[in-house]
Chain A
Amino acid sequence: MIKSEYFFWLIGAVFLVMAAQMAGDRTNPRRFGSASFWGLIGACFFYSTGVVDKSLPAEPLGAAVLVLIVLGGFGFTGKGTPHTPPREERAASAARFGNKLFLPALTIPVVAMLCATLLKKVHIGGEPVLEPGSETILGLGVGAIAAMVVGMTVLRERRVSVPLHAGRNMLESMGWALVLPQLLAVLGSIFQTAGVGDQVGRITEAILPDGQRFIAVLVYCCGMVLFTIVMGNAFAAFPVMTAAVGWPVLIQQMHGSIPAVLAIGMLCGFCGTLVTPMAANFNLVPAALLELDDQYGPIKAQLPTAAALLVCNIAVLALFAF
């Protein structure tokens, strides 16, 4: 059986190799900071396996995460000069290879799709080939490796260092934003353990007038948006707001439909995700990847849609869920 942990080790190894490349890149003014940051992430990917299966203590990993925060947060990372060929050269290459260039790029989704649908059902010796529950993630990994093989063959590129350098340049341009989503997951779980949801619930119950259904819906939906904006992640906001308002008020007190309240609550959170820089993986990382000057460009493009959708969600919940 191919386990998701093998795939995480592969990514850890990629981080470590790229960190070694960074350490030797003299065009990067902060090359040792960058190398330590990405190298440490790589090591954490390996160590995490032990934390997940409980064979290693979680505290050292937590300490390493704090070091990552310091390295990324205080600007110890930088980027080198990417060595991409000039535009004319790339245009010439595009003319030479033509649509064959799309083949490797399309290999990723096609293989990912096949893994998630067909390979998921394949068993060898009574064991599934892919670890159950991780098929889509593993599909992405298998797809990326297959695409690499296809790409190197089609382009007749023999040096493995070429794609690694190119990928490292993209990693450097994303910088610390890459690990923010993982840190937000940390924050969400701490908020939950510390009882932030119960506190917000006590406050809302004190403020909310009895039996005002529409106002309660408004508080739940807008609360999901606000908490998501603050925490950058609807998954983190969901337990807080549901424990605070969704369950006690909308479901128990006002007898709302359970799936409607919860599903729409989560979707309201997604409206918040669209407009917050804290949701780095959806908003800041694309801006960095697309080399935008305005890192809030994607948020500005999404804001009107998010606002309109919030109104739709509130309307659906208020009109059809009770």
Chain B
Amino acid sequence: MIVLLGVLVVILGFATRRNPLLVVGAAGIVTGLLGKMSPQEVLAAFGNSFASSRSVTVFVITLPVIGLLERYGLQEQARNLIGRLGALTTGRFLALYLLIRQLTASVGLTSIGGPAQSVRPLIAPMAEAAAESRAGGPLPKRVREKIRSHASGADTIGMFFGEDCFIAIGSILLITGFVNSTYHQHLEPLSLALWAIPSAICAFLIHGARLLHLDRVLERELAVVAAENELAAHTARRPEDLK
């Protein structure tokens, strides 16, 4: 029973908005010690899991080349390109990216997208440019933030609900590894991948529809901003009328 205090540490740390690194570190130490591990075993557990989970950090290798291209105007060129395709609205563009991300992930190609590899240099600037060409000028900060958030969301959701349809992906291998060793089963990865298909379809329908709806939301927000600007310009031009 007492090992559950570790979970409590995470919840409390979360609720009081402590730095997540400290929360995780403290929860790990508390749980390990309460679970009757020796301090040495806790240290070894920290070391072993850090070593075997290095692959989640490998995207760092793409940062220099992306940084280099950005210095030479990659984001600006991405905007130019999408600005020329009039029919491609922000929502339609992101829905298309969602579909591509899901399909590629479902054949195991999860590392071809991601926040550093594709969202920051290409997808977010393109989605912004599509909105800019509609608005006919630079976007207000609030709208820009919303578009960037959705660009990241389309990437993450596409990958999550595409990858489980692939049999050799980490999560599928984790399930089979855990069940086969703990419960002595002979579970085939393929049978798990099949059960991931309904969720993948739901994910595309739900999130795709939300992205298409995003266009209308953006239109409304831009109209509000335009009206505000006009009002401001009006008041600035003829201050004597308002006296």
| A residues in contact (CB < 8 Å) with B | 4, 7-8, 10-11, 14-15, 44-45, 47-49, 51-52, 57-66, 68-69, 72-75, 84-85, 87, 90-95, 97-99, 101-102, 104-105, 108-109, 112-113, 116, 136-137, 139-141, 143-145, 147-148, 151-152, 155, 157, 162-167, 169-171, 176-191, 193-196, 199-200, 230-232, 234-235, 238-239, 242-243, 247, 257-260, 262-264, 266-267, 270, 273-274, 277-278, 280-283, 285-287, 289-290, 292-294, 297-298, 300-302, 304-305, 308-309, 312-313, 316
Contact = CB atoms under 8 A, between A and B. Distances in A.
Given A191-B6, A302-B153, A151 B65 contact: yes
Contact of B199 (A136, A238, A309): A309
Contacts of B81: 99
B171 to A, nearest CB: 6
A185 B170 contact: no
B116 A140 contact: no
B74 to A, nearest CB: 5
**Interface size of B as a range:** 35 or more
Interface string B143-168: 00110111111011100110010000
22 contacts: A11-B57, A58-B46, A61-B48, A102-B122, A105-B69, A112-B112, A136-B108, A147-B65, A164-B64, A165-B67, A166-B68, A182-B49, A196-B3, A235-B170, A264-B195, A287-B152, A289-B115, A290-B115, A297-B148, A301-B153, A308-B202, A312-B199
Nearest to B160: A270
Interface of B: 1, 3-4, 6-7, 10-11, 14, 19-22, 24-25, 27-28, 31-32, 34-37, 40, 42-78, 80-81, 108-113, 115-122, 124, 141, 145-146, 148-153, 155-157, 160-161, 164, 170-172, 174-175, 178-179, 182-183, 185, 187-188, 191-196, 198-199, 202-203, 206-207, 210
A169 B175 CA distance: 37
A242 B202 CA distance: 24
B68 A151 contact: yes
A309 B46 contact: no
A44 to B, nearest CB: 7
Contact of A243 (B1, B161, B182): B182
A241 B63 CA distance: 36
Q: Mostly helix, strand, loop or mixed at chain B's interface?
A: helix
Given A182-B56, A289-B116, A10 B61 contact: yes
Nearest to B44: A58
Contacts of B155: 286
A48 B52 CA distance: 8
A14 B198 CA distance: 41
A268 to B, nearest CB: 9
A104 B65 contact: yes
B185 A191 contact: no
Given A151-B65, A290-B119, A185 B52 contact: yes
A235 B174 contact: yes
B161 A263 contact: no
Contacts of A165: 67
Given A94-B80, A294-B145, A312 B202 contact: yes
